[in-house]
């Protein structure tokens, strides 16, 4: 469907934005600490740790299109996407806590299996919320600029969540007093409750019952797995702007996911301070909180797609400059990280504001009722990028000779990493992400939807 609401209330904007406290937290904290938890606390080999995270994320890619299509079916049958979102918000904190509750002393293989199963269930619960959440802007707001406003404030909360969980997660872990089990358990307990709470509040922004004349027709609503996947493929086939936007966003998720997963390693083995990860996130998100609304101004002046391209180029240059850490590690790195943070705000807010434009454009051309399907494919693409980022990092670590240790073995050995592994960490935080960002500009150049096309649809 296309939004019938012509002007957004502050309450709607605020309640929708609060959901990003949950989505930002879940996207940040596992990406930041999960691989590190596996390699440096549970003693799982780097390549195996990457496999655990990647396979769990592949499951997400499999189920997201199904959840999207079922969300459309729920909307057609019941007039609301809310029940699915509430279920995901309630289930996620339980499974998130279990992910970081591996008993101390568990051998590497059963520990990896434990984390894999628990994280897979956590990711499933997250998708139940995230997929319909992504579909809502096309139903809550009409018009090119109204959606920019809605998504801008969502990204303000998202950037705050990245700071809160990126800096606060390791700080909570440190309260374990050197006991890894206690530290990670406390971190997961507090973070899980905050993530689930933000998601639950935002679930109620979904209308409880839309008017019958605004609902998509029940006839032809998707009911089988085959038709669920066919709908997702159809969305890609029918919408050229969606294909271009999704591929650009997927590639950028790969780059940022790689840097996110590498932040702990940079802090520990390049800057030689585990506490430095907190300062990295402060440097990243502090500027983003200030700059995010300015990207909305940029979008109104030059268009979302041009603003998105500008933000991407700025991020790529900042990332590339950090290759100097190989030769001169030091506090200077916080400056390019701050520039990357300002650019990252635009790389999040602008494509998210472009997605509901794409959905409405498709609804006008091909008929309403596919917002959830678009949301499912978008979430699958985003998940794929973030998961592959962690995977590429672990491959680089394995190729450069990174030595995985359990917490007790590391304490006993007191040794560092080979110089080649340290160089691999830096490359994974600089040159490789910058190259991926450059590649994302190719599909972005093929995005042809403009403000006139969108407002003409409305």
pTM exceeding the 0.75 threshold for the entire prediction: no
pLDDT confidence band for 144 (50 / 70 / 90): low
- How far apart, in Å, are the Cα atoms of 282 and each of 239, 277, 326, 394, 423? 38, 9, 22, 25, 24
How many CA atoms within 13 Å lie on the side-chain side of 374?
Answer: 31
Averaged pLDDT of the chain: 82
Q: What pLDDT, on a 0 to 100 scale, did the predictor assign at position 408?
A: 47
Task: Kindly report, residue by residue over 237-293, the tens digit of the pLDDT.
Answer: 878 888 999 999 999 999 988 988 888 889 889 998 877 877 887 887 788 888 888
Please give, one letter per residue, the 3-state secondary structure of 145-173: HHHHHHHHHHHHHHHHHHHHHHHHHHHHH
CATH of domain 10-207+228-457: 1.20.1250.20
Q: Is 411 exposed, middle or buried (0-12, 13-18, 19+ CB in 10 A)?
A: exposed
Would you list the domain boundaries of the chain? Answer: 10-207+228-457
Q: What pLDDT, on a 0 to 100 scale, did the predictor assign at position 6?
A: 47
Residue % of the chain over a pLDDT of 90: 29
Q: Which segments within 313-443 are labelled E, that is strand? A: none
SS3 50: helix
Rounded Cα distance between 33 and 328, Å, is 25
State yes or no: pLDDT of 163 exceeds 80: no
Q: Which of 18-32, 33-47, 103-117, 373-387 has the lowest mean pLDDT?
A: 373-387
**Cβ proximity of 137 and 349 under 8 Å:** no
pLDDT confidence band for 412 (50 / 70 / 90): very low
Quote the Cα angle for 407-410-415, to 5°: 160
């Amino acid at each position: 469907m296309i939004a019938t609401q012509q002007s957004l209330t502050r309450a709607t904007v605020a309640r929708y934005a609060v959901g990003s406290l949950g989505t930002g937290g879940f996207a940040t904290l596992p990406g930041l600490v999960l691989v590190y938890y596996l390699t440096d606390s549970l003693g799982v080999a780097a390549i195996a740790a990457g496999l655990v995270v990647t396979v769990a994320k592949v499951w997400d890619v499999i189920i997201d299109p199904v959840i999207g299509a079922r969300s459309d079916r729920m909307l057609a049958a019941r007039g609301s996407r809310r029940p699915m979102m509430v279920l995901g918000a309630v289930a996620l904190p339980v499974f998130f806590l279990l992910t970081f509750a591996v008993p101390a002393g568990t051998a590497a293989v059963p520990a990896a299996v434990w984390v894999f199963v628990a994280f897979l269930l956590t990711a499933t619960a997250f998708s139940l919320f995230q997929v319909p959440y992504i579909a809502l802007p096309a139903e809550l707001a009409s018009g090119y600029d109204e959606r920019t406003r809605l998504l801008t404030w969502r990204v303000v909360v998202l950037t705050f969540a990245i700071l809160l969980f990126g800096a606060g997660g390791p700080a909570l872990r440190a309260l374990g007093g050197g006991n890894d089990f206690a530290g990670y358990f406390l971190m997961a307990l507090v973070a899980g409750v905050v993530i689930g709470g933000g998601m639950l509040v935002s679930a109620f922004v979904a209308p409880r019952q839309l008017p019958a004349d605004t609902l998509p027709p029940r006839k032809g609503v998707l009911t089988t797995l085959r038709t669920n996947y066919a709908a997702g493929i159809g969305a890609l086939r029918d919408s050229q702007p969606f294909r271009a936007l999704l591929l650009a966003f997927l590639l950028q998720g790969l780059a940022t996911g790689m840097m996110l997963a590498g932040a702990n390693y940079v802090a520990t083995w390049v800057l030689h301070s585990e506490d430095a990860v907190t300062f990295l996130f402060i440097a990243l998100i502090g500027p983003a909180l200030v700059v995010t609304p300015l990207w909305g101004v940029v979008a109104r002046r030059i268009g979302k797609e041009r603003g998105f391209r500008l933000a991407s180029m700025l991020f790529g240059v900042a990332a590339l400059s950090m290759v100097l850490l190989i030769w001169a590690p030091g506090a200077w790195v916080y400056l390019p990280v701050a520039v990357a943070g300002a650019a990252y705000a635009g790389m999040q807010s602008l494509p998210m504001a472009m997605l509901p434009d794409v959905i409405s454009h498709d609804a006008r051309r091909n008929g309403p009722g596919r917002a959830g399907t678009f949301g499912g494919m978008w979430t699958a693409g985003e998940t794929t990028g973030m998961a592959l980022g962690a995977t590429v990092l672990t491959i680089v670590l394995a190729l450069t000779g990174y030595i995985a240790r359990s917490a007790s073995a590391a304490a006993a050995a007191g040794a560092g990493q080979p110089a080649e592994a340290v160089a691999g960490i830096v490359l994974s935080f600089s040159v490789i992400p910058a190259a991926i960002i450059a590649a994302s500009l190719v599909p972005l150049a093929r995005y042809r939807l403009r403000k006139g096309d969108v407002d003409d649809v409305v």
